[in-house]
């Protein structure tokens, strides 16, 4: 049998126990004695009248301190963990059911194999997000075995090992395949920019096969990147742009443009730029920085900019072999501004331009259109039974007041309060009797 506290931080309030003592001391101090020639004319009954305000009785002081201590202990959520209590917790189940909105017609009751002490549904389009919310709710639930049921058709990519790994080990996991995936699905794959203009794309996911069909589009082809370079590098720049277009890059969103300044190797960055504040520019910089092709190609360039540290507000997006920045990004007006220290004729230039063009364009999420389900074997491997219930802590205590021994401490407070009142009354009675006796005498 152990005693734990559900809100141990509140035990600091035990310092309040010193309040009656401090009040006693302060009251005594405030009652500064004043000299007086004689007390013979002051009646004892009158003299006693103020005494009842002073806490001059040690037992009374102790009773008052005990009242405060019991009240603070009650607020802190005392919990005596007995084996009977543990067994009671283990007998009940708190269940969270995450239901993929695409799995129509699924009811939580149909998924439950046993009655739950408490249960809650989380309908979501993203299983990962639903699982996060379900876990948070389970952690704030009263002590019980905790179970998470995930109901979905489970297309590939809908849930990953990382999502499962984020679930606490004490929470049981059960996957229920609900709903059926279509055999094939055709979705818009987004327009692309090519050397021949804009082409619309359509992807068909048919079992393990994916077919992409392109058709010419009437939309005007606008190359979103303005390139500033030396006159003698123009030919290399044109070749780089042509190479990028040959690889088909997404058509950029409206208003999202970039400017690339190709400076000579070993030079410093000049020109006006500002801190990145526009969300799409920040997002684009992040995507460029995460481009593995760009990073690998940049590391083959022997030297970057002259300065090992870029002046503010430039931030490095690729690093040369010497460890110095090879490309840097900032914001200039309403554009993404990129400075490149790589020669125009170097392979880095077309790779950088491709990375920027891809970052400016919208990439369709074909994973949501997936028609191939996750294998049953993978799901079974990640299922597990709930662990025995753990004692409630933190927010859990507030969800179930029956799961603590607060009431006993409150009762103790009330009992002590009654004792304190009785002591006060009896002492007052005794004082008045004494005063009366003195007066009569």
Binding site residues, another protein, CB under 8 A:
31-43, 46-47, 49-51, 53-54
Closest to another protein by CB, 51 vs 290, is 51
Nearer to another protein, 55 or 282 (CB): 55
Q: What's the closest the beta carbon of residue 5 comes to another protein, in angstroms?
A: 41
Q: Which helix (H) or strand (E) holds 174?
A: strand 171-177
Half-sphere exposure of 291 (CA within 13 A, CB side): 25
CA angle, residues 229, 231, 235, in degrees to nearest 5: 85
CA distance 282 to 359: 10
Closer residue to another protein in complex, CB, 41/255: 41
Nearest to 176 by CA among 429, 380, 439, 416: 380
Q: How far is the CB of 59 from another protein (least distance, A)?
A: 20
**Which token pair is 252?**
């950029």
Q: How far is the CB of 56 from another protein (least distance, A)?
A: 10
Residue 179, strand partner residues:
none
Scan for tokens 């000299």, then name that residue: 35
Q: Which is nearer to another protein, 367 or 430 (CB)?
A: 430
Q: Is 398 exposed, middle or buried (0-12, 13-18, 19+ CB in 10 A)?
A: middle
Cross-strand pairs, 205: 185, 210
* CB of 23 vs another protein, minimal distance in Å: 15
Smallest distance, another protein to C-beta of residue 439, A: 10
Distances (CA, A) of 190 to 25, 213, 248: 79, 11, 11
Of 46 and 267, which CB lies nearer to another protein in the complex structure? 46
For 217, list phi and psi in degrees, rounded to 5: -115, 150
Q: For the CB of residue 48, give the shortest distance to another protein in the complex, in Å.
A: 8
Distance, in Å, from the CA atom of 2 to the CA atom of 13, rounded to the nearest integer, reads: 22
Where in 55-168 does DSSP place strands (E)? 78-81, 93-100, 118-124, 145-152
Nearer to another protein, 41 or 292 (CB): 41
Nearer to another protein, 44 or 157 (CB): 44
| Residues 222, 197 contacting (CB under 8 angstroms) | no
Residue number, 34 or 215, with CB nearest to another protein: 34
Q: Report the C-alpha gap between 252 and 357 in whole angstroms.
A: 7
Task: Give me the least distance between CB of 28 and another protein, in Å please.
Answer: 9
Instruction: Give the span between the Cα atoms of 177 and 60, in whole angstroms.
Output: 67
Q: How far is the CB of 19 from another protein (least distance, A)?
A: 21
| Cα–Cα distance measured from residue 331 to residue 314, given in angstroms and rounded to the nearest whole number | 9
Phi, psi angles (nearest 5°) of residue 172: -75, 150
Taking the least distance from each CB to another protein, the nearer of 46 and 300 is: 46
User: To the nearest whole angstrom, how small is the minimum distance from the Cβ of residue 30 to another protein?
Assistant: 9
User: Residue 30's CB: how many other CB atoms inside 10 A?
Assistant: 8
Give the strands of the sheet with 325-332, arranged side by side: 225-228, 258-262, 335-340, 325-332, 315-319
Do residues 320 and 341 lie in contact, with contact meaning Cβ atoms separated by under 8 Å?
yes
Cβ closer to another protein: 34 or 255? 34
Shortest reach from residue 26's CB to another protein, in Å = 14
Which sign does the torsion angle of CA 259, 265, 270, 273 carry? Answer: positive
d(C-alpha 242, C-alpha 305), whole Å:
26
Q: Report in angstroms how near the CB of residue 57 gets to another protein at its nearest.
A: 15
- Nearest to another protein of 49, 274 (CB atom): 49
42 vs 242, beta carbon nearer another protein: 42
Q: In angstroms, what is the minimal distance from the CB of 40 to another protein?
A: 7
């Amino acid at each position: 049998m152990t005693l734990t506290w559900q809100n141990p931080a509140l035990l600091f309030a035990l310092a309040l126990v010193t309040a009656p003592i401090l009040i006693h001391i302060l009251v005594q101090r405030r009652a500064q004695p004043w000299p007086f020639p004689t007390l013979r004319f002051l009646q004892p009954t009158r003299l006693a009248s103020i005494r009842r305000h002073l806490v001059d009785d040690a037992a009374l002081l102790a009773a008052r301190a005990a009242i405060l201590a019991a009240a603070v202990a009650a607020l802190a959520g005392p919990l005596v963990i007995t084996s009977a209590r543990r067994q009671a917790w283990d007998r009940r189940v708190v269940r969270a059911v995450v239901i993929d909105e695409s799995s129509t017609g699924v009811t939580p009751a149909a998924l439950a194999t046993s009655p739950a002490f408490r249960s809650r549904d989380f309908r979501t389009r993203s299983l990962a997000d639903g699982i996060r919310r379900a876990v948070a709710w389970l952690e704030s639930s009263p002590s019980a075995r905790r179970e998470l049921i995930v109901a979905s058709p489970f297309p590939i990519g809908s849930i990953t090992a990382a999502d499962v790994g984020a679930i606490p080990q004490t929470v049981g996991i059960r996957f229920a395949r609900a709903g059926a995936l279509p055999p094939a699905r055709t979705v818009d794959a987004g327009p692309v920019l090519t050397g021949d203009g804009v082409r619309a794309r359509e992807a068909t996911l048919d079992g393990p096969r994916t077919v992409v069909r392109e058709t010419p589009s009437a939309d005007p082809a606008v190359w979103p990147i303005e390139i500033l370079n030396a006159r003698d590098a123009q030919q290399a720049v044109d070749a780089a742009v042509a190479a990028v277009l040959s690889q088909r890059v997404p058509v950029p969103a409206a208003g999202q443009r970039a400017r690339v300044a190709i400076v000579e190797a070993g030079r410093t960055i000049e020109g006006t730029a500002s801190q990145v504040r526009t969300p799409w520019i920040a997002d684009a910089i992040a995507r460029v920085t995460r481009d593995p092709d760009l990073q690998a190609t940049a590391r083959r360039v022997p030297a970057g900019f002259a300065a090992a540290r870029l002046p503010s507000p430039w931030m490095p997006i690729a690093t040369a072999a010497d460890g110095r920045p090879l490309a840097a990004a900032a914001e200039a007006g309403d554009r993404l501004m990129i400075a490149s220290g790589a020669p125009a004729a170097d392979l880095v230039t077309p790779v950088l331009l491709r990375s920027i063009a891809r970052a400016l364009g919208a990439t369709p999420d074909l994973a949501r259109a997936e028609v191939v389900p996750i294998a049953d074997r993978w799901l079974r491997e990640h299922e597990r039974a709930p662990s025995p219930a753990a004692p409630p802590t933190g927010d859990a205590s507030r969800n179930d007041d029956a799961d603590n021994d607060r009431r006993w401490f409150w009762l103790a407070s009330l009992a002590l309060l009654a004792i304190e009142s009785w002591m006060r009354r009896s002492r007052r009675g005794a004082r008045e009797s004494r005063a009366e006796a003195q007066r009569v005498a």
